[in-house]
Amino acid sequence: MDPYMFTVPERKKLRIIIDTDCKNEADDQYALVHALLTPKFRIQGIVAAHFGARTCTDSMLRSYAEIKLVMRLMGMEGQAPVCKGAAAAIPDEKTPLPSEGSELIIREALRDDPQPLYILFWGPLTDMASALLERPDIAGKAHVIWVGGAAYPRGGGEFNLSNDIRAANVVMKSGVPVQMVTLPAFSRVFVGLAELQLRVAGHGKIGQYLYRQLLDYLETRVDDTPYQLGEGWCLGDTASLGLILNPHYYSRELHPAPIFTDDMQYITDTGLPAIEIHQNIDARFLLEDFYCKLALRYADPA
């Protein structure tokens, strides 16, 4: 049952594909729940992304299983198709790795539908690059929102980019409209564990799971001192939703699409069509929107 007293006009709704390395750490799950609870989104499919081979050799399959688990705990099995993406990074900038995920992207981009298509990437851009290499003509038929890249224009290490630098360059060179949420922006969605205990853990099986899996993950990173601060974590992938729910016109920067070096520095004077680069995000709005939707959907029946 729809818990909301408001309705979103059909003309305001958007087609959404989510491409997520959902078992990489503990924030993709929060973003996925938020997206599935958002009535503005017509979710056409969810693609399981790889997250490299640092910790395992089957990362894409782990993401696939995690997506399925989250949807089951939400009581939303079957609400949207779940597809397998590429199992690894593309080998070079000319060779795609076709997958169910790239097929979904191509199919939805070519669909005759008046509602725009937005593809949200919470990991590497492998599946988008593969789709563009297979069908370059889809570049004008979709919008890409990618959580990735370090501060612009300084550059530097950033996890999502590191897992497929070649794919990022394919996408930047393609002419597809891109909104890039950089590290300074997505790191603003930092939240305390006490806040999550109060606002998330008590709302249904999915709330319990979201909170518990975050605590379990943090226990594995107890010695990772640059990131593990003891009482909080960054829900960075949620930032991508903010560019749709609140377009952040006031803080976007338009720059020629950059190219990335092997050490993840930006090449900025590319002459490529401009993309949107976001280095700030309204974290308060995003977190409150998530908390309210979770509470309304999984309210205690008593």
Tens-place pLDDT, residues 44-65: 999 999 999 988 999 999 999 9
Nearest-angstrom CA–CA distance, 122 and 45: 14
What is the structure's pLDDT at 225? 60
What is the structure's pLDDT at 301? 58
Nearest-angstrom CA–CA distance, 178 and 176: 6
Q: Looking at the 3D structure of the chain, how many domains does it have?
A: 1
259-274 mean pLDDT: 98
Structural domain includes residue 6: no
Predicted TM-score of the model (pTM): 0.96
Structural domain includes residue 270: yes
113-135 mean pLDDT: 98
Q: Are 164 and 158 in contact (CB under 8 A)?
A: no
Structural domain includes residue 46: yes
Structural domain includes residue 5: no
Structural domain includes residue 152: yes
164 is in which domain, residue-wise?
Answer: 13-297
Structural domain includes residue 75: yes
Structural domain includes residue 191: yes
In sequence order, the β-bridge partners of residue 120 are: 18, 145
Q: What is the share, in percent, of the chain residues with pLDDT greater than 90?
A: 92
Neighbour count for residue 152 (Cβ, 10 Å): 19
Domain with residue 267: its CATH number is 3.90.245.10
Structural domain includes residue 203: yes
Tens digits of residue pLDDT in 161-217: 999 999 999 999 999 999 999 999 999 999 999 999 999 999 999 999 999 999 999
* pLDDT over threshold 90, residue 129: yes
* pLDDT over threshold 90, residue 103: yes
What is the structure's pLDDT at 51? 98
What is the structure's pLDDT at 35? 98
What is the structure's pLDDT at 98? 98
What is the structure's pLDDT at 230? 80
